[in-house]
Structure 1
Amino acid sequence: MVKRSKKSKSNRVSLKKKHKIIKKVKEHHKKKAKEAKKLGLNKKPKVEKDPGIPNDWPFKEQELKALEIRRERAKAELEQNKAARKERAKKRKLGLLEEEDDVSMKKESVGEETLPVSKIRDNSERAFYKELVKVIEASDVILQVLDARDPLGTRCSDMEKMVMKSGAEKRLVLLLNKIDLVPREAAEKWLKYLREELPTVAFKCSTQEQKSNLGWKSSSKAGKTGMSGNSILQTSDCLGAESLIKLLKNYTRSHEIKKSITVGIIGLPNVGKSSLINSLKRSHVVNVGATPGLTRSLQEVQLDRNVKLLDCPGVVMLRSSENDASIALRNCKRIEKLEDPISPVKEILKLCPSKVLVTLYKVPSFDSVDDFLHKVATVRGRLKKGGIVDVEAAARIVLHDWNQGKIPYFTMPPTRTEAEVSEAKIVTELGKEFNVDEVYGSESSFIGSLKSVNEFNPVEVPPNVPISFDERMLEVHDFRAVFVF
């Protein structure tokens, strides 16, 4: 039989020891409290009692009424601020509130003075215009980025005039971005149309998410299929970078004295200026996003020892003839800031066949814009308090899908008149400096590998007119200081 050890192996404290510890702790606390009492540390400050209004004061009733009014006013302001905070939280949750709007709303809620919305908009547009002037003045070659789906609608004639007036040594090149979103027939015709006026390059930006080592694909391999059987055009890699860099290098070599150049990237909001820089640099060096106005100021990126890139914010200072619907469909204005999001949707319904929208949004056939938006809001669960259908939220969903390319569309170039043909002439001097024949020949293979109209059935819409600045917004004397570096 095994004998048990008399020595206890338990780690528990005996009751005698436990009570001894408790007693010592109490004595310690008692001693500390006694010392604090002697020093007067625990003394509570005396609160002076409000004596109130004396009964024999002759204006007591008037003062009591004024006090009641002040209390009611403070209570109403408190309720109003509380409701404003709830509204801001709701909009922030839905993603409809920008940071600058949140700050202005907070200032309004606490009673701070804020500038009128029109004044703030004017100031921001003037600031963006200053950045545009800086980029044009500091650049040797200016790349105007156009959206391949609507090159004419995303072209700004006033920007081109500014480049031409800024100096005879400036060179303007057009870049047809998002070339993979249009059919082959449209891309070929647009390149031919634009090359009658200026050197034009086709491009597809990289859509990869990693921070560095963004992929490039050679133009000669664009038509080939990968291991999965998909065309390289359907991948997230960049296309056209080699051709563009070759064109810029040809320009640097054509000047014996000048060995390095500065390239300014200009264009309307959301045409892909920042994405172009990231694709050329093969890393995320500038912020990108589908929201117009993400780039706020000039940014410099050194591509290599011979080429420096300047990113410019998208500038939109429109004539009064331009309506909000036309601008919203070009993604030049933030959707959440549109006062009337339903009007652009009316334009979309005029341009798109109903069967395309029925298939995309999985709604039954509709009769009108209101009927369509009611059904979209019901399917997507956009309801207000009390189960009321939120038509404006549904309209913003459709607009967002249009700008993101979920509703595929394209335009065809207009036919030139005889007068326009004589005006649009190939600048042979520019062609020699950039050696465009060599560049155009290298990109023909991936243009030919684009899908045709019958392969993905996009919607053909008429091209928009080029955007022009509002002369009333431009005050030359305000910007003379910008030209001094």
Structure 2
Amino acid sequence: MVKKSKKSKSKRVPLRKKYKIIRKVKEHQKKKAKEAKKLGLNKKPKVEKDPGIPNDWPFKEQELKALEARRQRAIQELEEKKAARKERAQKRKLGLLEDEEMKEQGSVEEERVTDVSIVTTRNHDRSERVFYKELVKVVEASDVILEVLDARDPLGTRCVDMEKMVRKSGHDKHLVLLLNKIDLVPREAVEKWLKYLREELPTVAFKCSTQEQKSNLGWKSAPKSKKTGKAINLLQTSDCLGAETLIKLLKNYSRSHEIKKSITVGVIGLPNVGKSSLINSLKRSHVVNVGATPGLTRSMQEVQLDKNVKLLDCPGVVMLKSTENDSSVALRNCKRIEKLDDPVGPVKEILKLCPDSVLVTLYKIPSFSSVDEFLQMVATVRGKLKKGGIVDVDSAARIVLRDWNEGKIPYYTMPPSRNADEPSEAKIVSELGKEFNVDEV
């Protein structure tokens, strides 16, 4: 038989040990309290009591009455607020919120919206004023002014007010039109536009370089292909076209008699016509920022092309006429797509200008009969849906506008026919002299 051990297997602490621990903890706390008392750590700061109104003051009774009246008024206001809150809570539960409160809330929201719109219009006006000042600086500092036009719509991107300002600034200022983005239109349209515009001012056709390297942007003559041995069409390549003609034109002006050898050339025009891209192509390196968003160039920038020619880049300025609407401005990419209040309006203008078959093949949608139907189809194809599967028409309209500004939607205009009764401006071209004779160059 195995003997059982007499020791208890219980893990319970005996009471004598428990009381001993409690006693030790109390002694430790007392010791700590004595040390803190000696150091003065537990002393509470004495709160100065309000002495009150002295009894000797002659106006004591009047002051006490005024204090009591203020106290009663504050209590009454608190009670009225509590009662008003209870009434509003009951009316909300019953759905009987008064119409006056709703009108008050609406008026407050309207005031907020008007304040925001006033601030945004002020900021917009301020930025336009700054850009206009930069334009005046460029015109005053330049001997030759290049007005850049979009070859797809030269008359739409041509600013007559800018040309008047250049002519008023002095007789020594010479204005030259530059037809940019000729790779986006057929050759016949470019030739007709050049013939039309050269009746008024010297005009040069140009295609900017679309290469991505930082330097050595090509604008040489078209190389011959190895297979066919024929010259490659430069309009289909990423090289620049028209730079040699433009530089020869400027050099002729700088070498002409009675004119200083070094000249300053200002580049002006509406936003997103390719002013900065033109300067990069002539310099053959990325010296100024370029982008599809309007307003990227914020101030005048100087670029030394060579020892005789200096270029001035100007921010795009929109001089709106009273007859122009937001749609026409948006189609010229003069306004940011994100800031458009109504993006559907410009899309209506696009549908008037472009045939339906082009849009059907581009967006891979079936035939449509209205603008709303077109935008709904584009939104479903591109997956632009709101919460609950609702079609987001505004997002689809912004997609179409972005494609329009980037040149994905093919579009171009032809020059109008001149009337025989209109006064010809051929005298202006002949007065400029041989240095701006484009045909000879």
Length-normalised TM-score, structure 2: 0.73
1:345-402 deviation line (CA, Å, top 9, x unaligned): 1111122221111110011111211111001001101111222111011011111111
Q: Identify unmatched segments of 5+ residues in structure 1.
A: 1-37, 47-56, 70-107, 440-485
Residue 292 of structure 2 aligns to which amino acid in structure 1? A
Q: Does 1:121 align with 2:112?
A: no
Of the candidates 419, 422, 427, which is equivalent to residue 420 of structure 1? 422
Greater CA radius of gyration, 1 or 2?
Answer: 2
1 CA distance for matches of 2:226 and 2:145? 35
Tell me: CA distance 1:429–1:319, structure 2 relative to 1, closer, same or farther (3 Å): closer
**Cross-structure match for 1:198:** 201
For residues 271 and 374 of structure 1, what CA distance do their matches in structure 2 show? 31
Amino acid at match of 1:156: C
In 1: Cα distance, 2:279 partner to 2:79 partner:
68
Q: Which amino acid aligns with 2:155?
A: L
Contact 1:225 1:231 in 2 (8 A): no
Would the aligned equivalents of 2:271 and 2:315 in 1 still touch at CA under 8 Å?
yes
1:406 — aligned with what? 408
Match of 1:282 among 281, 284, 287: 284
> CA offsets per residue over residues 42-74 of structure 1, 9 Å max, x none?
x9xx9xxxxxxxxxx76468569989x9xxxxx
Q: Could you say if the C-alpha distance between residues 181 and 227 of structure 1 is closer, same or farther in structure 2, counting changes exceeding 3 Å?
A: farther
Rounded to whole Å, the distance in 1 between the matches of 2:258 and 2:433 is 17
Query: Aligned AA for 1:182?
Result: V
Separation in structure 1 between the aligned mates of residue 180 and residue 226 of structure 2, nearest angstrom: 23
CA distance in 2, matches of 1:227, 1:308: 42
What's the secondary structure of 1:415's corresponding residue?
A: coil
- The separation in 2 between residues aligned to 1:184 and 1:432, in whole angstroms, is 27
SS in 2 for 1:239: coil
How far apart are the structure 1 equivalents of 2:241 and 2:338? 32
Structure 1 pair 114–181 and aligned structure 2 pair: CA distance change class (3 A): closer
Deviation at 1:233?
2.0
Match of 1:365 in 2: 367
Alignment of structure 1 residues 12-23 onto 2, 5 Å: none
Report the alpha carbon displacement of residue 215 of structure 1 after superposing the two structures with TM: 1.2
Q: Distance in 1 between the 2:240 and 2:298 partners? A: 25
Q: Quick one: which of 270, 273, 279 aligns to 2:272?
A: 270
State the 1:290 CA deviation: 0.6
Paired position in structure 2 for 1:186? 189
Kindly provide the amino acid, as one letter, of the partner of residue 161 in structure 2: D
Aligned match for 2:175, one of 172, 176, 192: 172
- Tell me the residue number matched to 2:7: none
Pair 1:387-2:389 in alignment: yes
Cα distance in 1 for partners of 2:177, 2:225 equals 29
Paired with 2:198 and 2:437, the residues of 1 have a C-alpha distance of: 13
1:208 to 202, 211, 216: 211
Aligned 8 A contact 1:195 1:426 in 2: no
- For residue 419 of structure 1, report the CA deviation from its aligned partner: 3.0
Whole-angstrom distance in 2 between the partners of 1:342 and 1:138: 41
Relative to structure 1, the CA distance from residue 272 to residue 66 in structure 2 (aligned partners, 3 Å threshold; closer, same or farther) is: farther
Q: Shift in Å at residue 297 of structure 1?
A: 0.8
Distance, in Å, in 1 between the alignment partners of 2:297 and 2:400 is 25
Residue equivalent to 1:348: 350
Change in CA separation of 1:234 and 1:410 when aligned onto 2, cut-off 3 Å = same
Deviation per CA, 1:434-458, whole angstroms, max 9, x where unpaired?
Answer: 343332xxxxxxxxxxxxxxxxxxx
For residues 85-484 of structure 1, the aligned pairs below 5 Å read: 116-218=119-221, 221=222, 224-225=224-225, 231-256=233-258, 258-425=260-427, 427-439=429-441
Deviations 1:110-168 (A, max 9, x none): xx999622222111111111111110000000000000111111101111111111111
- Count residues with an aligned counterpart: 349
Mapped partners of 1:314, 1:389: distance in 2: 35
CA distance in 2, matches of 1:327, 1:297: 22
Task: For residue 216 of structure 1, give the secondary structure of its aligned residue in structure 2.
Answer: coil
The higher-RCO structure (CA 8 Å, 6+ apart) is 1
Contact 1:150 1:411 survives alignment (8 Å): yes
Residue identity matched to 1:358: V
Whether the 8 Å contact between 1:136 and 1:264 is mirrored in structure 2 is: yes
1:257 CA displacement: 5.1
Task: Decide whether aligned partners of structure 1 residues 259 and 383 sit closer, same or farther in structure 2, where only a CA change above 3 A counts.
Answer: same
Q: Distance in 2 between matches of 1:260 and 1:227?
A: 45
TM-score by length of 1: 0.66
Q: 1:66 to 1:247 in 2, by over 3 A?
A: farther
> Sequence identity of aligned pairs in percent?
78
Q: Summarize deviations over 1:194-247 as a string: whole Å, max 9, x none.
A: 1111111111001111111111123xx37x547798533211111111111110
User: Relative to structure 1, is the Cα distance of residues 437 and 231 closer, same or farther in structure 2, using a 3 angstrom cutoff?
Assistant: closer
- How far apart, CA to CA, are the structure 1 residues paired with 2:206 and 2:437? 18
CA distance in 2, matches of 1:178, 1:65: 73
Q: Quick one: structure 1 residues 64 and 377, their matched pair in 2 at CA, closer, same or farther if it must change by over 3 Å? A: farther
1:255 deviates by: 3.4
Aligned-partner SS, 1:248: helix
Secondary structure class of the residue paired with 1:410: coil
- Give the aligned CA root-mean-square deviation in angstroms: 3.2
- Paired residues of 2:204 and 2:438 also in contact (CA < 8 A): no
- Residue type of the partner of 1:265? V
Offset, 1:334: 1.2
Residues 253-311 of structure 1 deviation map (CA, whole Å, 9 limit, x = unaligned):
00345010000000001000000001111111111001111111111111111111000
In structure 2, what is the Cα distance between the partners aligned to 1:169 and 1:124?
30
